[in-house]
Amino acid sequence: MPQIIFEDDYILVCNKPHGLMTEPDRNNHPNLKQEIINYLKTTTGASNPYVQHLHRLDRPVSGLVLFTKDKSCLHELSNQFALRNVEKYYFALTANCPHKLTDTLNHWHRKEKKKGQIVPEGTAYSEWVKLDYKVESYTQPFLWNIQLHTGKFHQIRCQLAHINCPIMGDTIYGSTKAYKENAIALQAYKLIFTHPISGERIKVEIDNNLQNI
């Protein structure tokens, strides 16, 4: 049963647990979209309810995922993400502390196979990426509060690793500190977006649970 944080006739926001894929894959792994479909079958009585996610979280990442339950809202919500009108916030834990406790990271990023890379400006097929962060704890593990401005493949993971602060449990990006099985210490804890029908600015937020699992 998915943990539903916000729901109305048009949209739904749920809290994805660590280790669960957002969408189906070729290997038929359990995934959040199917869990939402099963939930809506129960609550609506529809045999094939429409639902579509607007963004994805990596399998080992937990946190908020926005879905639309109405196909007519898909274009409007997709545009909000494309135009960077959706505010996305994350918590992360690292074993290392950065030189600056508050900063903006601007890099050039390129996806290479199943890993993101920070590359020099002008590198072929690279894209500009940006995030803001503030380190909110002063003892290990260090708690980061991150606003993600772009949202490319493994962006937070490779940007933090690039400044020698890999996320705990993220062995792909060099972490040597263990975390929960099938998980890294990264949580999407807040989304702010515009409702596609009412035009109201919606904020959905969950508590930090990275240190409690």
- Residue 167 sits in a domain whose CATH number is 3.30.2350.10
pLDDT beyond 90 at 212: no
Whole-prediction pTM: 0.95
Interior angle at CA 24, CA 31 and CA 45, nearest 5: 70
Instruction: Report yes or no: 152 and 111 within 8 Å, Cβ to Cβ.
Output: yes
Structure confidence at residue 48 (pLDDT): 94
Give the whole-angstrom CA distance, residue 155 versus residue 115. Answer: 10
| Gap between the Cα atoms of 20 and 207, Å rounded | 19
Closest CA to 56 of 95, 26, 25, 10: 25
Closest listed residue to residue 6, CA positions, set 208, 210, 206: 206
Specify the 3-state DSSP secondary structure of 81. Answer: helix
pLDDT at residue 8, rounded to an integer: 97
Percent residues over pLDDT 70 in the chain = 99
Q: Which residue bears the tokens 């940006």?
A: 130
Mean pLDDT of 9-15: 98
> Residue 42's domain spans which residues?
3-212
pLDDT top residue among 138 and 20:
20
Residue 213 in this model has a pLDDT that exceeds 60: no
Per the structure, the count of domains in the chain is 1
